[in-house]
């Protein structure tokens, strides 16, 4: 018994020695800020004068704030289109690249590069590509006979699709690689067996591929929804939330409220709402995964 205790104690010492450098930083710069963020959302604070406790008033204000409602709806709109598009493209090209064609490495690299390229540089380029009068995109559209192509970033209707399209272009290669890894793990015998049972291509995809990559699918859905909720840089550089408030998304609103209007408490309340959304998505996913995720082990 005492021996056990000494072992435990010794292990503890060891473990904390290893943890210490990271843990101290984690506590100060991650854990405390997380708690702090929740506390701040009940305060009113302009960064200069002392903070005042205001209870739920920030949250009541949020519900009456049309700007917040607009950015919430914009974020949901962005997510609802971006996530399915990204997943369809990523899965389709993962399947194609999984066919064992030649030059797979090159294709894979080309699709992945946009994901790691600087968002600032890429957003600037797209801003020019989208230019209503001189941009290559509209030039081409006019060439093929569309007299009045969309005015993209200066149209309320088309600004968000423009941002969405660029985001899908930038990120689907990343998810594609995850899917490829998932596809590689599927035992070939399963396909053989399905073939013998006379399942055609679609059926094989429906009854073998999809169930077998469901863990990857689950992961990709969560990650892409969460990152859609956090969209910021594209909007900040390409449209600044405009025209009007057509592309104002949650994080853009949080950023301007915090670092332009200096309403730190209010912006924290907005951030807490963002967090709750992300939490709900994750919980629904985890609840639902028992139903449709197939873990081999």
Q: Verify binding: residue 105, another protein, rule CB under 8 A.
A: yes
CB-based burial label for 269 (10 Å; 0-12, 13-18, 19+): buried
- 77-96 binders of another protein (CB under 8 A): 93, 96
Using the rule CB under 8 A, which residue among 59, 149, 154, 186 binds another protein? 154
CB 215 within 8 A of CB 182: yes
- Nearest distance in Å: CB 81, another protein: 18
The interface with another protein within residues 201-220 (CB under 8 A) comprises: 215-216, 219-220
Phi, psi dihedrals of residue 149, rounded to the nearest 5°: -65, 160
CB 208, min distance to another protein, A:
18
Residue 161 sits in the site that holds another protein (CB under 8 A): no
Distances (CA, A) of 186 to 137, 176, 199: 40, 16, 17
Q: Decide if 237 contacts 124 (C-beta within 8 A).
A: yes
Query: How long a stretch of residues is the chain?
Result: 297
Contact 105, 190 (CB under 8 A): no
| Phi, psi angle pair for 137, to nearest 5° | -60, -50
- Binding to another protein (CB under 8 A) within 233-262 occurs at 233, 236-237, 241-246, 251, 254-256, 258-262
109-138 residues in contact with another protein (CB under 8 A) are: 109-114, 116-122, 124-136
Binding another protein (rule: CB under 8 A), the pick from 19, 73, 80, 88 is 19
Q: Which of 28, 52, 88, 284 binds another protein (CB under 8 A)?
A: 28
Three-state DSSP state, 53: strand
| Least CB distance to another protein at residue 262 (A) | 6
The residue (of 208 and 277) whose beta carbon lies closer to another protein is 277
Backbone angles phi and psi of 43, in degrees to 5: -120, 165
Kindly state the number of chain residues that form the binding site for another protein, as judged by CB under 8 A.
119
> Which CB, 262 or 292, lies closer to another protein?
262
In DSSP notation, 198-234 reads T--HHHHIIIIIHHHTHHHHHHHHHHHHHHHHT--HH
CB 261, min distance to another protein, A: 6
Site stretch for another protein (CB under 8 A), options 13-21, 71-79, 80-88, 202-210: 13-21
| 108 binds another protein, rule: CB under 8 A | yes
Give the shortest CB-80-to-another protein separation in angstroms. Answer: 19
275 binds another protein (CB under 8 A): yes
Residue in 2, 3, 6, 30 binding another protein, rule: CB under 8 A: 30
CB of 207 to another protein, least distance (A): 20
Instruction: Choose between 5 and 291: whose C-beta lies nearer to another protein.
Output: 5
* Site for another protein contains 73 (CB under 8 A): no
Q: Where are the alpha helices (DSSP H) in the chain?
A: 2-26, 32-40, 57-64, 66-97, 104-116, 119-129, 136-143, 159-184, 188-196, 201-204, 210-212, 214-229, 233-238, 250-259, 264-292
CB within 8 A of 257, min separation 6: which ones?
263, 266, 267, 270
Q: Taking CB under 8 A as the rule, does residue 6 contact another protein?
A: no
């Amino acid at each position: 018994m005492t021996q056990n205790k000494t072992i435990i104690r010794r292990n503890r010492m060891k473990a904390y020695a290893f943890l210490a450098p990271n843990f101290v930083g984690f506590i100060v710069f991650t854990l405390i800020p997380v708690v702090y963020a929740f506390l701040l959302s009940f305060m009113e604070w302009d960064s200069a004068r002392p903070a005042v406790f205001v209870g739920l008033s920030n949250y009541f204000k949020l519900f009456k704030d049309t700007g917040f409602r607009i950015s919430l709806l914009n974020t949901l709109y962005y997510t609802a289109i971006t996530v399915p598009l990204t997943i369809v493209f990523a899965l389709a090209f993962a399947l194609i690249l999984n066919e064992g064609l030649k030059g797979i490495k090159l294709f894979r690299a080309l699709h992945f590069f946009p994901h790691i390229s600087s968002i600032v540089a890429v957003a600037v380029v797209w801003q020019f590509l989208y230019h209503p009068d001189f941009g290559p995109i509209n030039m081409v559209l006019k060439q093929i006979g569309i007299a009045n192509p969309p005015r993209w970033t200066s149209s309320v209707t088309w600004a968000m699709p423009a941002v969405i399209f660029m985001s899908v272009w930038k990120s689907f290669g990343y998810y594609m690689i995850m899917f490829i890894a998932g596809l590689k793990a599927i035992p070939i015998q399963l396909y053989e067996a399905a073939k013998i049972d006379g399942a055609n291509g679609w059926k094989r995809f429906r009854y073998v591929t999809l169930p077998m990559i469901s863990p990857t699918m689950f992961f990709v859905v969560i990650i892409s929804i969460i990152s859609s909720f956090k969209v910021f840089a594209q909007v900040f550089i390409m449209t600044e939330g405009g025209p009007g408030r057509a592309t104002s998304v949650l994080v853009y609103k949080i950023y301007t409220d915090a670092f332009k209007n200096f309403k730190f408490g209010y912006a924290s309340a907005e951030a807490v709402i963002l967090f709750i959304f992300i939490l709900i998505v994750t919980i629904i996913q985890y609840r639902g995964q028992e139903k449709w995720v197939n873990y081999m082990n």
